[in-house]
Structure 1
């Protein structure tokens, strides 16, 4: 039996690659005990990782900004080759290369039947919704690894139709597990459509994916705001307008200078709870982005909020922030009849269509987010570079399968 290695959180600012047991076709103890499910998982598959990506959500844990315990395995962006299937798996075969939604979903509960796979009721006793390698998400082993177990495989796995084509386009296809659907979800739920003007807060990988998705959806102008010059340059590289939030200029004035009016049709928060105020030396102010996007969105607009907000933040700026209670100007959003979409992106709602765009050579998301291939042992260094603001999307290639 082969071994396995996985990236593990070792304390604030520190990760390591550690040896763990090879996965079994079994559910985690948290799920078994908390939900009363059988431990044996004949509905599951084991995947050999082709690619697995580092996500900004992982970085929140690694910074010590969640309640993740030391020893928490990491990684929820998974693309892999099926190497073993349970006896109840009917439609996925060994050798298939598949994308794995970061949401773990049973495919059988009320939420799954409604297409709300981000809040499945049968995969996490702590709350609705689960994910691989994430705090309070059911105890599922992370996918920044050599091998991983995927439950309810027939429902969760998106099989690529042609192996050779998949490997050729793997740097694009690897984004289907999370950031491409998540960015698309942000832009789509913000109401982006043909001719829309769109503001995306944050030029990290999810923000870049949201900006690219807004273009796919037909936006006439996409404006990306950030304080990181390198990341803003990456947004410009595929045709976005940008605003430098470290400049000290008012956001509304910068929007007006670009559009000729001080508001946009749609706005996306791709930053989340570690937001900072404006200006070069701005301190953390977790409600900044939410208040910004309400301020610069037209009346009746929709706001997409894929940026992560948590219920437990040991590093919060005050006691309210430590439990996810922040100073949002809800009265402003109410007065402007705004609608908000929050929470995990239901990846399965979008991943097949986005796969088709990639396979038809109509979407080049890897270039937009500046995908950078690394080995599994390079993960600790990549986390450090990502934390410093590198304008890259790190793609881990554990088995040297990426051309």
Structure 2
């Protein structure tokens, strides 16, 4: 049995790479594992050799100490891997398959899964619907920022790449299928992006950039990306987006300058609960800023896609209400403008096969759009630090050196 290493959360601001258990076909006790899941038998699971595993902005919320994540939690929910072992109940996934792992863990059997709502599976997290690898309050499934990882319900969850050699040629692009590409795409679909749309995207981190690439793929006429970080805005501009630096003020006047009117057809929140204010308040955390500004700049009858993360518990929030996930949202404005809102985890399986085909047939270059940057697993602490400092990169961990051989 090979050894295993994992990227562990060791307290606010600190991640370290440590030796960890090799996966088995039973969920064992450990940091963050829900007691009701301990001892759960997993004959339907597969063990993967991790080919690529990405650092996500959602991971950063935990690492900053903005959640109740326990020390020792193995991180990582964006996983691409090669199957090395399957449980006795796995029928169709085979050893040697190269696969993408949706970050949502789903059973495929419950009512929500059968309705395509895999982000809120009812059977994998005893606390509430919805689960993910290596994430706080998500059932305790071990994260994939590791050499090897276990994936339950393998026949249902895993997306097999049809040609392994061809997939390895585009592996950095395909690594985005686990989360940010479907998530950005879901934000656009939820907001009603279509050919000719004018689109405003708050946030030029990897999800915002993926949403921008998705909007262009869907035929948007103008894609406007807003952020406080010039380097990230430059990255958005590099593939055809208009940009707004909200450090200079509210976006409405800048939108007017770009498209000739102060409102857009569609808007996407790719920031979430750690949002900061605009203009003179750009150094101050204002968790409702993005939601309120999106309602302000979206036309009446429009829609808001909200893939940005909002939490029910934020111990680092500035006020008591925000610590419980209660924000000062101008819901009256949204009501008056008849806005539609779509929130929650992206149901990755709704989109990942189609987006895989778009990658394989050169309809999109998502790795280039998000500036995907491979680094070895043991450099994960550096990747987390640089990403937290605002680097305009999507860091992709390369545990076995397989990405360096293709780049």
Residue in 2 that maps onto 1:196: 197
Which structure 2 residues correspond to residues 4-43 of structure 1 after superposition, within 5 A? 4-29=4-29, 34=36, 39-43=40-44
Residue in 1 that maps onto 2:258: 258
CA positional deviation for 1:71: 1.1
Answer yes or no: is the 8 Å Cα contact 1:28–1:138 preserved in 2: no
User: Deviation string for 1:183-237 (max 9, x for gaps)?
Assistant: 0000110000010000000000000000110001110000000010000000000
Answer yes or no: is the 8 Å Cα contact 1:76–1:102 preserved in 2: yes
Residue in 1 that maps onto 2:178: 177
Residue in 2 that maps onto 1:67: 68
Is structure 2 residue 126 aligned with structure 1 residue 125?
A: yes
Is structure 2 residue 89 aligned with structure 1 residue 94?
A: no
Judge which range, 25-34 or 69-78, deviates more: 25-34
Q: Secondary structure at the match of 2:320?
A: coil
CA positional deviation for 1:3: 1.1
CA positional deviation for 1:182: 0.1
Answer yes or no: is the 8 Å Cα contact 1:31–1:125 preserved in 2: no
Which structure 2 residues correspond to residues 280-299 of structure 1 after superposition, within 5 A? 281-299=282-300
Q: What residue ranges of structure 2 are gaps of 5+ in the alignment?
A: none
Answer yes or no: is the 8 Å Cα contact 2:34–2:140 preserved in 1: no
User: Deviation string for 1:106-129 (max 9, x for gaps)?
Assistant: 000000000000000000011100
Answer yes or no: is the 8 Å Cα contact 2:34–2:126 preserved in 1: no
CA positional deviation for 1:31: 7.5
Aligned residues between the structures:
401
Residue in 1 that maps onto 2:162: 161
CA gap of 1:90–1:235, structure 2 versus 1, over 3 A, is: same
Q: Distance in 2 between matches of 1:40 and 1:119?
A: 21
Runs of 4+ residues over 6 Å off in structure 1: none
Which structure 2 residues correspond to residues 3-402 of structure 1 after superposition, within 5 A? 3-29=3-29, 34=36, 39-248=40-249, 250-279=250-279, 281-402=282-403
TM-score by length of 1: 0.98
Q: What residue ranges of structure 1 are gaps of 5+ in the alignment?
A: none
CA positional deviation for 1:28: 4.8
Q: Secondary structure at the match of 1:198?
A: strand
Q: Distance in 2 between matches of 1:157 and 1:369?
A: 23
TM-score by length of 2: 0.97
CA positional deviation for 1:251: 1.3
CA positional deviation for 1:279: 2.1
CA positional deviation for 1:32: 8.1
User: Deviation string for 1:92-117 (max 9, x for gaps)?
Assistant: 00000000000000000000000000
The two structures, once aligned, show a CA RMSD in angstroms of: 1.2
